Amino acid sequence: MKSSKMRAPATPLRPMLPPKTPKSRQNSKENLVQKDPVQVFCRIRPLQSESDLSCIRVVSSSTVALIPPESAINYKISNNKETQYVFKHIFDVDSSQQEVFCTVAQPLVEGLIKGRNGLLFSYGVTGSGKTYTMTGNKNYRGIMPRCLDVLFKTISDYQAKKFVFKPDRLNGFDILTEADAMLHRQTEINSRLMKLERKDTDIEIASTASSDVTILSGIDEDNSYAVFITYVEIYNNNCYDLLEPSNNRNQPLQTKIVREDNNHNMFVHGVTEVEVKSVEEALNVFHTGQKRKRMGHTILNAESSRSHSVFTIRLVQAPVDINGEYVVQDRDKITVSQLSLVDLAGSERTNRTKNTGQRLREAGNINNSLMTLRSCLEILRENLLNGGNKKVPYRDTKLTHLFKNYFDGEGQVKMVVCVNPRSDDYDESAHVMKFAEITQEVQIARQTPIKPTFDNGLTPGRRRANQLFRQAMQVLEENGQEDAQNLEIDLGLIYKLPSFSDFQLRNDNMNDIMKELMICLEDRIRCRKRLVEDFDVRQKEVRQLIYNLESENIRLKTENAAVTATLNQDRERMKVLETKIMRYETTIDTLNRRIRDKDEHISQMETDLNEKQHQINRKEQEKERQRRKFDNKMAEEHDKKQRELENKLGEQKRKMESHMRTQEEKLRLVTDIINDNEFKAGPVSNLIHQFNAHSEGNAPQSERKARTKTIAMTNPRHRRSKSVGNEGWLEHRAPSIAHPGTVLQPYYNRTKTVTSPEMKDITNNRTSRYCLITQEADTDGELETKLYKGDVIPTKTGGAQVVFDDIECLTQQSPTASPNTSRKRKSENERKTPSKKSHTEIGARCSTGIEGHYSKKQRV
């Protein structure tokens, strides 16, 4: 392939701009200009309370009826007759935000992309839903965010880099080179790093959703687009820039003036225009200005707008160069269109809002600007109907002065009238309806797209062609093609001469027409010369291309013959393979039939198996039923035997208790005899005397002397049963008790251990058993531990006494000592002290008071 560098395109021709129409011709052509009426839509707000009465009835999709209530001012005059009003469309209480946007604002966005201007008003009394319709809330987006969403969705692939278009502060734009734009972008990045933007935590607008966004048609793929935002407030008939940069947030805003640019378009001089590249950036800019907007509290609305807000979306577009990459560096090629969304402040009546002071002044300026707007529309309608030329007072207020061009035919005007259907707002709603009726009768000249008649002489689709070319080069480079860098693309020019404009020959404009014709002919001559030169170059290139194609065709024919021979051989081979495939398919069919037969046999066997399993389950259920029946019968027999056994045990228990009461009575008599005569010594008797002394101490003084020689009698009603099993033990240990070191130790439930017991420990209701622990050496020199156990029985006088009924003797023996020697020594000791042993046994029996209950236990 022939290598050559990319050829530089020729200098583009200057576009042929439409000539300006002299003022003398404008009056003669007024009747020929197409005009459109102002489109007025009505939106009805839902009632805030179920108890409120409605004064509005929707008749059809374009007609609404206003019914006067008894509280209305003109109720008697109107004779209780309803008044019907016709609008472009009626949005009832069930209409969604998406429906309002598609009907009202989406055509304005389409015109914005095509170079037309648009103006949308929201008009109504305070609290009728104007702000909700324009901006929405955190759950439902309004018209403004939806316009931004649709616009950016449409131009997302054709946006110019930031700072390519730069505002000139005079309602126009300049085109910067790529180097200058890059320098501005770097400066912006550095400023963001030095000063972080504060995020808005109070988001009032719902996050954008791409599910319901429609991509609009009419986009020019060979243009680059940029979006700029301005946010202006008209407060007390003064203009303020809500996006004005300021180092101090509390610094008051500076007033701005309304001026006229070179094209006789009205604009706010010195307003800040912010370039945005996404919906999120635009909403952040909106929130920045919203914080500065003046809001106030009134009786009718908690957050009432005290000013008119104008949110303007400006779309700047310009064609790209011959390579489809950069914007053409020609300011005359720029097309600017704008869409102004105006949220008018609500009209108020002082007798309802009760405003005073600053709020009263604000309400007066709001009503004055709205009345001026109404007067301008009435004069426009009067001039249209009567053919008059009465001067329209646009300059009376900043609101009408700013939008003078729209009413003079520089854009499409629409209005959304918001109405509160409450009966209390009937009088205000009637004024709003009358104003909307007047507005619909105003005719505005239809605007044509602001585009040059000759589109620069560049080939349409050059941006897309350049993208495809770059993709092809990238594929070739990835595949290792060495000649990928030498490829050449030439989109060329459009072979078309500039067309002549429409001229009307008259005597008074002959010279002007001749000058315009001369300019047009010169442009055509220059364009023809350039196209002829380009045609000659292209003719040579086409001849060379045809020669190369012929050579390539001969080579391809030779290769085609070789490929055809190879193809025939492959076909013969394919026939052989097809025969084998047919034979294999027959074998596969046979195997499939056998598999189906086996599957049927398996299914039959599974059916039989399920039947057998069902029978087994039935037998198991019958067996389980018999087992439960047998268990029930055995349980009944067991309960019967258990009741008989309990009856026998109860009988025996009653007999034993009777016998025990007899023995206790005998034992009590013996105990009284022993206490009076013989039982005077020993640690156990001392403890009993202590407890008896305590019981006597609780008795009256008259009885204490009589009981000096007698023991306190127990209360037979408080005898505890030993079968309870919840005894509370009081363990009395001597301070010098030595631990024997054995594994097995005495264990009691609910034990309290003391070294010197007090009377409150004995008389405690939780103490039912008592244990006295003593240690002494036996005859063999081993340590012997004795445990004296007894019951704690309350006395009649409120005290308590201990009755010992058991003695445990714990001895410790050495495992290395001879058992015979120990036994022999023990027997000798027993023979030497027979009287002591007998005395100990007798004392133990007497202390317990129960014969035959003495026990001696030894533990190792």
Output the known binding site for ATP: 124-131
Q: Distance between CA atoms of 492 and 11, rounded to whole angstroms?
A: 12
Q: 644 and 636 in contact (C-beta within 8 Å)?
A: no
**Nearest Cα to 312, choosing from 251, 384, 233, 385?**
233
Q: How many CB atoms lie within 10 A of CB 756?
A: 9
Phi, psi dihedrals of residue 515, rounded to the nearest 5°: -65, -40
**Nearest Cα to 802, choosing from 769, 773, 779, 827?**
769
First to last CA, the chain: 116
Tokens for 187, please give them: 């400066």
Q: What angle do CA 262, 264, 265 make, to 5 degrees?
A: 105
Q: Distance between CA atoms of 683 and 845, rounded to whole angstroms?
A: 15
Based on the number of CB atoms within 10 Å of its own CB, is 858 exposed (0-12), middle (13-18) or buried (19 or more)? Answer: exposed
SS3 category, 561: helix
Q: Distance between CA atoms of 565 and 32, rounded to whole angstroms?
A: 75
SS3 category, 660: helix
Q: Distance between CA atoms of 689 and 776, rounded to whole angstroms?
A: 23
Q: 54 and 421 in contact (C-beta within 8 Å)?
A: yes
> Residue 720, Cα to own-chain centre: how many angstroms?
72
- Label the pairing between strands 173-175 and 165-167: antiparallel
- Label the pairing between strands 255-256 and 56-58: unpaired
Q: 490 and 7 in contact (C-beta within 8 Å)?
A: yes
Tokens for 827, please give them: 């027997």
Q: How many CB atoms lie within 10 A of CB 855?
A: 11
Tokens for 27, please give them: 């009056």
Q: What angle do CA 555, 558, 559 make, to 5 degrees?
A: 85
DSSP state of 803: E
Q: 715 and 795 in contact (C-beta within 8 Å)?
A: yes
Q: Distance between CA atoms of 128 and 344, rounded to whole angstroms?
A: 12
**Nearest Cα to 378, choosing from 364, 366, 368, 393?**
393
Amino acid identity at 16: M
Q: Distance between CA atoms of 146 and 214, rounded to whole angstroms?
A: 10
Q: Establish how many alpha carbons lie within 13 A of residue 572's alpha carbon, considering only the half-sphere containing its beta carbon.
A: 5
Q: How many CB atoms lie within 10 A of CB 283?
A: 25
Phi, psi dihedrals of residue 71, rounded to the nearest 5°: -80, 0
Q: Distance between CA atoms of 822 and 818, rounded to whole angstroms?
A: 6
Based on the number of CB atoms within 10 Å of its own CB, is 135 exposed (0-12), middle (13-18) or buried (19 or more)? Answer: buried
Q: 376 and 392 in contact (C-beta within 8 Å)?
A: yes
DSSP strands (E only) in 320-387:
335-343
Q: 769 and 730 in contact (C-beta within 8 Å)?
A: yes
**Residue 104 contacts by C-beta under 8 Å, 6 or more apart in sequence?**
41, 120, 143, 414, 416
> Residue 536, Cα to own-chain centre: how many angstroms?
66
**Which residues are documented as binding site?**
124-131
DSSP state of 103: I
Query: Bridge partners of 224?
Result: 318
